[in-house]
């Protein structure tokens, strides 16, 4: 995991139509002046903002920043200034410090989904950015370095949230590392000036302070970062006229040309390498892209405009309102040093497995006290313990064979199948085992299977019928991700068993002798804080204990069982209005896991397939389903061998679409945190 210094990125996306918004009519005979026109009157359409700044973090291992919150306050104040940004205070969300949690930020961005299409939106984030397992994150105040996957906001989620904002006028300022990851196609354009000749006012452009692998240099003699210093100079007018007319208006080509000319040279003078990068997305409708203006020059332009025509004057008045940076301090662009040299492993390691030996006395004709005396005279304590264990096991085998015979005579397949599993566990090499296996399988598999883990702990599995289904999501499914396709038909040729519930802490304790979970309870809570590797060890020991080959489900088996014959977004339909009846997630979890089985089951009797804890699957992760098996087996070749698949979502998920049947996630096989658990699967044969 990489956490690095803040790095400024500017993402600008809005329509040129905004620039031509007509102002309210000026009073007759009154000269036009900058101070006399309100932004709220001039811009007309609704305007919104989400402004975020974080200096300190709950996780003490994350370095403190000095200016992030001050930057955010200045940005917010500028945006709500009626003479400058023109945003009504009620439409400008400010999240600072302890209020800038993952949940609050997600909610603020999600709320923007309901704004008008002609609205203008500003988003500002100042804080740490981090990278883990190849994915970039916004680090929020309640993020944890040991669990960025659940506690921070991944770049793909930022993209998804901003893509759902209906406005085509978006200005996003990201003062954090890995900011360029928020663009969909990270294609860097080296010749900035040439690329911008065809740029349009509708689309998205991202400018990063440095390229991949470069450091964003800070210079004491400039009192801020090299990039920030020249960015300020450019925005405040020095870029005006660079490759265009000196008309008091700084255009995007002028801004980028100025940065391209000065930043690399300044870095080189300081023995460093730093070159701004530019990324472009969904560029269309050729036109000019204007960035800032010179307020003094604006007065001259406005006066001239009034003399010439009202139409020109109105355009100049609208241009004035783009100058949203005139009151921002240099600290707005200061790049904080936040290089993390080392992070201690704060995840608890599983306790050592404890060995428990249970010895039962077998009553016989000789009273127990006399038997004890006789045995003590001829046996060592070790020999005695071994003999008693053999006698106990022989008695259990005899009793189980008797019960198995009775169940078979009554054609009670469920009970016969359970007893066959018990006999297999007690005596794997029993001479009658093969014959009994054939006889019991002739009755057909039971609809439910219960494994005895000892100590009164059971594990219930449900029979999943054979069949076919379309795996993944169709192209037109709402909120789908690209890794959910191409949708393809999968045939499950044999029935199999799937855990009725997620594996509980009591079940994990019974098999592994430890409980690594962060959320401790009465044993009915799902086990959490387990890695894919931990789950493999659990399945191996459970198989040995039960005599049943238990494993993680394949990703295809998991989705097939989750859908339970449905083709909708969730196992209960397309609408998420009933999600609270089936899933524990951010809106109802109270920030913790809950006892398994507390929510409604799907059509095949499986509980918590949506929410509570993420569930590991056997498969390695692939970016899409091209070349995926069509027979339901785990896909373990190719792909990202350092990542394993997770399904189902968890108690921490704030976006309902993440809980869909087709949604996929991933993490490294050794990753542990308190949002990950498991559900087991097994074949029908004992």
Distance of CA 546 to the CA centre of its chain: 35
- Which of 681, 652, 650, 656 has the alpha carbon at shortest distance from 555? 681
| pLDDT tens-digit readout, 586-631 | 999 999 999 999 999 998 899 999 999 999 999 999 999 999 999 9
C-alpha–C-alpha distance, residues 549 and 683, integer Å: 7
Residue 81's pLDDT band (boundaries 50, 70, 90)? low
Residue 375's contacts (CB-CB under 8 Å, 6 or more residues apart) are: 384, 387
Same domain, 602 and 678: yes
| Token pair 């921490």 in the structure block, residue | 652
Same domain, 474 and 387: no
Residue 634 lies in a domain: yes
Residue 158 lies in a domain: yes
Strands 448-454 vs 664-667: parallel, antiparallel or unpaired: unpaired
SS3 state of residue 467: strand
Per-residue pLDDT at 295: 45
- Which of 333, 227, 211 has the alpha carbon at shortest distance from 279? 211
Residue 48 lies in a domain: yes
Per-residue pLDDT at 47: 79
Mean pLDDT, to the nearest integer, of 642-662?
Answer: 95
Q: Is the pLDDT of residue 10 over 60?
A: no
Domain finish residue from 333, 360, 385: 333
Per-residue pLDDT at 8: 39
Highest mean pLDDT among 168-172, 174-178, 193-197: 168-172
| Token pair 């007018």 in the structure block, residue | 237
Residue 104 lies in a domain: yes
pTM for this one? 0.44
| pLDDT tens-digit readout, 416-446 | 777 776 777 677 677 777 788 778 777 766 6
CA triple 294-297-298, angle to 5 deg: 80
Domain finish residue from 402, 420, 444: 444
Same domain, 69 and 107: yes
Which of 376-385, 425-434, 461-470 has the weakest average pLDDT?
A: 376-385
Q: 119 vs 108, 169, 170, 173, 435, CA distance in Å?
A: 16, 7, 9, 17, 75
Percent of the chain surpassing pLDDT 90: 35
CATH number, position 312? 3.40.50.1460
SS3 state of residue 341: coil
| pLDDT tens-digit readout, 119-151 | 777 787 777 878 877 788 889 999 998 888 889
C-alpha–C-alpha distance, residues 190 and 256, integer Å: 11
CATH number, position 540? 3.90.1580.10
Structural domain boundaries, residue 381: 368-444
| pLDDT tens-digit readout, 660-675 | 999 999 999 999 989 9
Residue 196's pLDDT band (boundaries 50, 70, 90)? very low
DSSP state of 557: H
Same domain, 142 and 44: yes
| pLDDT tens-digit readout, 314-346 | 444 443 433 333 332 322 222 222 222 332 232
Total count of domains within the chain: 3
**H or E stretch including 510?**
helix 505-512
C-alpha–C-alpha distance, residues 508 and 515, integer Å: 7
H and E: helices and strands count for the chain: 18, 26
Mean pLDDT of the chain: 73
Domain finish residue from 401, 423, 444: 444
């Amino acid at each position: 995991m990489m956490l690095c210094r803040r790095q400024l990125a500017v993402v600008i996306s809005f329509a040129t139509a905004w620039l031509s918004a007509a102002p309210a009519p000026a009073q007759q005979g009154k000269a036009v002046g900058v101070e006399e026109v309100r932004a709220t009157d001039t811009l007309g359409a609704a305007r919104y903002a989400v402004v975020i700044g974080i200096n300190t973090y709950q996780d003490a291992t994350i370095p403190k920043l000095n200016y992030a919150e001050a930057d955010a306050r200045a940005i917010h104040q500028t945006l709500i200034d009626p003479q400058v940004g023109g945003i009504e205070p009620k439409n400008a969300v400010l999240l600072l410090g302890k209020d800038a949690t993952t949940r609050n930020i997600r909610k603020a961005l999600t709320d923007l989904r309901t704004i008008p299409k002609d609205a203008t939106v500003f988003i500002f984030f100042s804080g740490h950015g981090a990278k883990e397992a190849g994915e970039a994150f916004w680090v929020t105040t309640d993020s944890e370095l040991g669990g960025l996957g659940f506690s921070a906001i991944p770049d793909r989620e930022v993209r998804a949230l901003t893509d759902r904002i209906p406005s085509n006028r978006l200005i996003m300022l990201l003062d954090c590392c890995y900011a360029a990851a928020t663009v969909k196609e990270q294609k860097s354009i080296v010749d900035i000036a040439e690329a911008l000749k065809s740029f349009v006012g509708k689309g998205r452009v991202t400018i990063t302070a440095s390229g991949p692998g470069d450091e964003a240099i800070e210079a004491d003699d400039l009192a801020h970062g090299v990039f920030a210093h020249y960015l300020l100079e450019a925005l405040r007018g020095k870029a005006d006229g660079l490759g265009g007319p000196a008309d008091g208006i700084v255009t995007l080509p002028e801004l980028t040309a100025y940065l391209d000319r000065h930043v690399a040279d300044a870095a080189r003078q300081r023995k460093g390498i730093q070159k701004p990068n530019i990324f472009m997305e969904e560029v269309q409708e050729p036109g000019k892209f204007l960035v800032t203006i010179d307020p003094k020059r604006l007065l001259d332009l406005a006066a001239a405009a009034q003399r010439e025509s009202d139409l020109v004057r109105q355009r100049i008045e609208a241009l004035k309102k783009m100058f949203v940076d005139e009151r921002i301090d240099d600290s707005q662009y200061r790049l904080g040093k936040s290089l993390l040299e080392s992070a201690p492993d704060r995840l608890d390691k599983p306790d050592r497995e404890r060995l428990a030996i249970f010895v039962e006395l077998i009553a016989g004709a000789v009273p127990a006290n006399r038997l004890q005396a006789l045995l003590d005279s001829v046996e060592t304590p070790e020999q005695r313990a071994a003999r008693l264990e053999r006698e106990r096991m022989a008695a259990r085998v005899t009793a189980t064979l008797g019960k198995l015979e009775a169940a078979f005579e009554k054609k009670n397949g469920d009970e016969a199948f359970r007893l066959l599993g018990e006999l297999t566990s007690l005596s794997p090499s029993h001479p009658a085992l093969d014959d009994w296996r054939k006889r019991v399988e002739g009755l057909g598999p039971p609809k439910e299977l219960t494994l005895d883990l000892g100590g009164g702990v059971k594990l219930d599995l449900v029979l999943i019928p054979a069949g076919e289904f379309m795996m993944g999501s169709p192209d037109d499914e709402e909120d789908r991700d690209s890794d959910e396709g191409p949708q393809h038909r999968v045939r499950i040729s044999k029935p199999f068993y799937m855990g009725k519930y997620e594996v509980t802490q009591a079940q994990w304790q019974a098999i592994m002798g430890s409980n690594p979970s962060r959320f401790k309870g009465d044993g009915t809570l799902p086990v959490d804080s387990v890695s894919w590797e931990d789950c493999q060890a659990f399945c191996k020991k459970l198989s040995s204990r039960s005599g049943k080959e238990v494993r993680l489900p394949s990703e295809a088996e998991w989705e097939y069982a989750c859908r339970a014959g449905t083709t909708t977004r969730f196992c209960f339909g397309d609408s998420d209005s009933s999600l609270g009846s089936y899933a524990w997630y951010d809106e109802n979890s109270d920030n913790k896991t809950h006892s398994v089985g507390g929510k409604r089951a799907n059509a095949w009797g499986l509980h918590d397939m949506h929410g509570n804890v993420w569930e590991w699957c056997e498969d390695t992760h692939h970016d899409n389903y091209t070349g995926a098996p069509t027979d339901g087996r785990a896909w373990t070749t190719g792909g990202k061998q350092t990542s394993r698949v997770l399904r189902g979502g968890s108690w921490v998920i704030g976006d309902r679409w993440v809980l869909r049947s087709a949604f996929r996630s991933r993490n490294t096989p050794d990753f542990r945190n308190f949002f990950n658990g498991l559900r087991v699967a097994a074949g029908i044969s004992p």
